[in-house]
A and B are shown apart, each in its own frame.
Chain A
Amino acid sequence: DGGITQSPKYLFRKEGQNVTLSCEQNLNHDAMYWYRQDPGQGLRLIYYSQIVNDFQKGDIAEGYSVSREKKESFPLTVTSAQKNPTAFYLCASSISGAGRYEQYFGPGTRLTVT
């Protein structure tokens, strides 16, 4: 089955700790994206990657870091510098990063930091 997987589904961390969220896709898509969604709000773009070994900041990149060493994988690290890390994190992919193609989402990771 082709798709996007994110793990874990729920994640709990103490303040001050870095945490890495996993995102893997087997759709052979070139582009991958990370979004954050807060209750009652829309999706906000954190980082995106149009090709392996390259990525760009989105609208709210501060306090986050990413890597894209393999086409299939785009992990997101939430660092201790992120002031309000508790949120629903969504990973997506698309055929290419030209912005003309629909994006497909993974099931998301709910991160709670206390």
Chain B
Amino acid sequence: RKEVEQDPGPFNVPEGATVAFNCTYSNSASQSFFWYRQDCRKEPKLLMSVYSSGNEDGRFTAQLNRASQYISLLIRDSKLSDSATYLCVVNGYGSSNTGKLIFGQGTTLQVKP
């Protein structure tokens, strides 16, 4: 089982739609969780950190479910400019992974006019 798993998609949605991505992680001791956005042929950029209570930033909402070991990202009122790959990231924990972030392979979103 991969340490961080995401559905690669692509998710094709019309402008204005609400779309949700889920991500599961295997290490129950992980403590920090992030969503990054990566545009084609560019570097990943931090979208938001994910806090235990869930957090919202404009049209974006992130939630964490520790019991089920998954993280979600909800995008409301999708814009064309939201088209990108969304990376789920979890901090490593344990002798081989301490100090590292573990990146999922990403979920691709295509927003159509």
Q: Which chain A residues have a beta carbon within 8 Å of chain B's beta carbons?
A: 31, 35, 41-43, 45, 48, 50, 56, 58, 88, 90, 97-108
Per the bound structure, the CA–CA distance linking A95 and B106 in Å amounts to: 24
Interface residues on B, range: 20 to 34
Per the bound structure, the CA–CA distance linking A48 and B32 in Å amounts to: 18
With A35-B103, A99-B91 known, 19 other A-B pairs at CB within 8 A are A41-B105, A42-B105, A42-B106, A43-B87, A45-B100, A48-B100, A50-B99, A56-B99, A90-B43, A97-B99, A98-B98, A99-B92, A99-B100, A100-B91, A101-B32, A102-B34, A102-B46, A105-B44, A106-B43
Q: Could you give 14 example pairs across A and B, Cβ below 8 Å?
A: A41-B105, A42-B87, A42-B106, A43-B103, A45-B100, A50-B99, A99-B91, A99-B98, A99-B100, A99-B101, A100-B91, A103-B101, A105-B45, A107-B42
Q: Chain B contact residues: over half helix, strand or loop, or mixed?
A: loop
Per the bound structure, the CA–CA distance linking A35 and B100 in Å amounts to: 11
Instruction: State whether A42 touches B103 (Cβ < 8 A).
Output: yes
**Inside 8 A of A101's CB, which chain B residues have their CB?**
32
What's the A-B contact tally at a CB cutoff of 8 Å? Answer: 51
Per the bound structure, the CA–CA distance linking A20 and B16 in Å amounts to: 45
Among candidates B87, B92, B99, residue contacting A31 with C-beta atoms closer than 8 Å: B99
Within B22-68, the residues touching A (CB, 8 Å) are: 31-32, 34, 41-46, 49
Instruction: State whether A43 touches B99 (Cβ < 8 A).
Output: no
Chain B: minimal CB distance from A29 (Å):
13
